[in-house]
Amino acid sequence: MQKGSLENHLFRKGAEPLPWETRLKIVTGAAEGLAFLHTHEKSVIYRDFKAANILLDGAYHAKLSDFGLAKQGPINGQSHISTRPMGTHGYAAPEYIAT
Protein backbone atom coordinates (compact mmCIF):
# COMPACT_ATOMS: atom_id res chain seq x y z
CA MET A 1 0.00 0.00 0.00
CA GLN A 2 1.31 3.41 -0.99
CA LYS A 3 1.25 5.06 2.46
CA GLY A 4 2.41 2.02 4.44
CA SER A 5 0.94 1.12 7.81
CA LEU A 6 -0.71 3.35 10.38
CA GLU A 7 2.06 2.30 12.77
CA ASN A 8 4.63 3.96 10.48
CA HIS A 9 2.72 7.25 10.64
CA LEU A 10 2.21 7.12 14.40
CA PHE A 11 5.77 6.29 15.42
CA ARG A 12 8.06 7.71 12.73
CA LYS A 13 10.58 10.26 13.95
CA GLY A 14 10.90 13.78 12.61
CA ALA A 15 7.76 13.76 10.46
CA GLU A 16 4.76 16.04 10.71
CA PRO A 17 1.75 14.41 12.37
CA LEU A 18 -1.20 13.57 10.16
CA PRO A 19 -3.94 16.23 10.02
CA TRP A 20 -6.96 15.52 12.22
CA GLU A 21 -9.22 15.10 9.18
CA THR A 22 -6.93 12.35 7.86
CA ARG A 23 -6.75 10.68 11.27
CA LEU A 24 -10.55 10.61 11.47
CA LYS A 25 -10.74 9.14 7.96
CA ILE A 26 -8.30 6.37 8.94
CA VAL A 27 -9.99 5.37 12.21
CA THR A 28 -13.44 5.51 10.61
CA GLY A 29 -12.26 3.29 7.76
CA ALA A 30 -10.68 0.78 10.15
CA ALA A 31 -13.86 0.69 12.27
CA GLU A 32 -15.97 0.16 9.14
CA GLY A 33 -13.72 -2.74 8.17
CA LEU A 34 -14.21 -4.38 11.57
CA ALA A 35 -17.96 -3.75 11.41
CA PHE A 36 -18.08 -5.44 8.01
CA LEU A 37 -16.25 -8.50 9.34
CA HIS A 38 -18.54 -8.74 12.36
CA THR A 39 -21.84 -8.24 10.53
CA HIS A 40 -21.22 -10.22 7.33
CA GLU A 41 -23.31 -13.37 6.84
CA LYS A 42 -20.22 -15.41 7.75
CA SER A 43 -18.76 -13.21 10.47
CA VAL A 44 -15.04 -13.11 11.19
CA ILE A 45 -13.30 -12.52 14.51
CA TYR A 46 -10.18 -10.58 13.50
CA ARG A 47 -8.11 -11.01 16.73
CA ASP A 48 -5.10 -8.86 15.74
CA PHE A 49 -6.35 -5.27 15.49
CA LYS A 50 -3.35 -2.96 15.82
CA ALA A 51 -1.73 -0.04 14.01
CA ALA A 52 0.76 -2.28 12.18
CA ASN A 53 -2.13 -4.20 10.58
CA ILE A 54 -3.94 -1.13 9.26
CA LEU A 55 -2.55 -0.36 5.81
CA LEU A 56 -3.14 2.93 4.00
CA ASP A 57 -3.57 3.49 0.27
CA GLY A 58 -2.55 6.69 -1.54
CA ALA A 59 -5.68 8.51 -0.33
CA TYR A 60 -5.31 7.25 3.28
CA HIS A 61 -8.15 4.73 2.98
CA ALA A 62 -7.63 2.15 5.74
CA LYS A 63 -7.44 -1.54 4.86
CA LEU A 64 -7.18 -4.31 7.45
CA SER A 65 -4.35 -6.78 6.84
CA ASP A 66 -2.83 -9.93 8.36
CA PHE A 67 -5.70 -12.33 8.88
CA GLY A 68 -3.41 -15.06 10.22
CA LEU A 69 -5.16 -15.11 13.62
CA ALA A 70 -8.68 -14.55 12.26
CA LYS A 71 -11.38 -17.05 13.09
CA GLN A 72 -14.88 -17.64 11.77
CA GLY A 73 -17.48 -16.16 14.09
CA PRO A 74 -20.38 -17.96 15.78
CA ILE A 75 -22.57 -20.09 13.49
CA ASN A 76 -25.76 -22.14 13.80
CA GLY A 77 -27.18 -20.17 16.72
CA GLN A 78 -24.02 -20.18 18.85
CA SER A 79 -23.87 -17.21 21.19
CA HIS A 80 -20.07 -17.01 21.30
CA ILE A 81 -16.82 -18.66 20.31
CA SER A 82 -14.54 -20.07 23.01
CA THR A 83 -10.94 -19.34 22.20
CA ARG A 84 -7.74 -18.65 24.04
CA PRO A 85 -6.51 -15.05 23.89
CA MET A 86 -4.57 -14.32 20.71
CA GLY A 87 -2.94 -11.32 19.12
CA THR A 88 -0.81 -8.52 20.52
CA HIS A 89 -1.58 -8.19 24.24
CA GLY A 90 -0.95 -4.44 24.37
CA TYR A 91 -3.79 -3.90 21.89
CA ALA A 92 -6.26 -6.38 23.39
CA ALA A 93 -9.11 -5.49 25.73
CA PRO A 94 -8.27 -6.36 29.37
CA GLU A 95 -11.46 -8.42 29.73
CA TYR A 96 -10.42 -10.49 26.70
CA ILE A 97 -6.95 -11.22 28.11
CA ALA A 98 -8.44 -12.09 31.51
CA THR A 99 -10.53 -14.95 30.04
Q: Which active-site residues does the annotation give? A: 48
Question: What is the CATH class of 6-97?
Answer: mainly alpha
Has residue 97 got a pLDDT over 60? no
Of residues 36, 37, 99, the one with CA closest to residue 69: 37
Has residue 73 got a pLDDT over 60? yes
- Determine the pLDDT at residue 89: 65
| Span 2-42, pLDDT tens digits | 999 999 999 988 888 999 999 999 999 999 999 999 998 88
| Span 52-71, pLDDT tens digits | 999 999 999 999 999 988 88
80 pLDDT band, cuts 50/70/90, is: low
